[in-house]
Structure 1
Amino acid sequence: ELEGKARYQQDQLARLTERLVAAESDDITKRLPIIKKMLGLDNLMEENTQLTTRVNELQRQLEEERAAKAQLTSEISTLSREQQRLEEWAGSVAAAQTPPPRGASAEHSGQAPAERAAAAD
């Protein structure tokens, strides 16, 4: 009979312990939002999310700007080479169209003395 009572009390103690653990767990779960609010964690978590979003947006913009800068640098380089080529071409055209000055030596005029004499006649 004593064993039966002891077993009964142990069972009751086990059930009460389970209920107590469940109640404490529920209590903590219910109190967690209150605790977070008291500590300001909800606001901090929201602010952290907003800041993370903003940082990601700024990083994306920076990458776009770097790509645009690289594109512009490439275009500037291409245009610079084209400008140099055109300046060289313009110089050679101008040199070809400029007649030699009067009385220039044969080496400057590109004509032999006999050709100059024939041209003068």
Structure 2
Amino acid sequence: MPSRPAGWASALRPRPSGSTNRPEPEPAVAERSGATVCGESASDPLMALALTGMGVTSLSMSAPALPAVRHALRHHSLARCESIAEAVLSAQSADEARMAARDLTDAEVVTRLGL
């Protein structure tokens, strides 16, 4: 994967460096209206775990991505997803966020999915 210049967004760090804006799906969850993420972010098994932990209730992705995301989600509790989300949101860079998510992901899932 090519590296991005400092401050560029990525799936695991969608805000530029120094920005205080962060994804906040909780209001949608509290209102029971749900929160949906689609595309590349939803298709990444690590990001899917973090998004679930942030309160996202629906992930939309291409069919080829479904087996890996389904496998990751089936092997993690909501509490573990919430821990992954906290670690991702606390990270200072996309690389740090990805490593934090990977470190909290079940070892079997990491191995099986090649994360």
The answer to whether the superposition gives a TM-score over 0.5 is no
The structure that is helix-richer by fraction is 1
The structure that is strand-richer by fraction is 2
Larger gyration radius, structure 1 or structure 2: 1
TM-score w.r.t. length of structure 1: 0.16
TM-score w.r.t. length of structure 2: 0.16
Question: Whose RCO is larger (CA < 8 A, sep 6+)?
Answer: 2
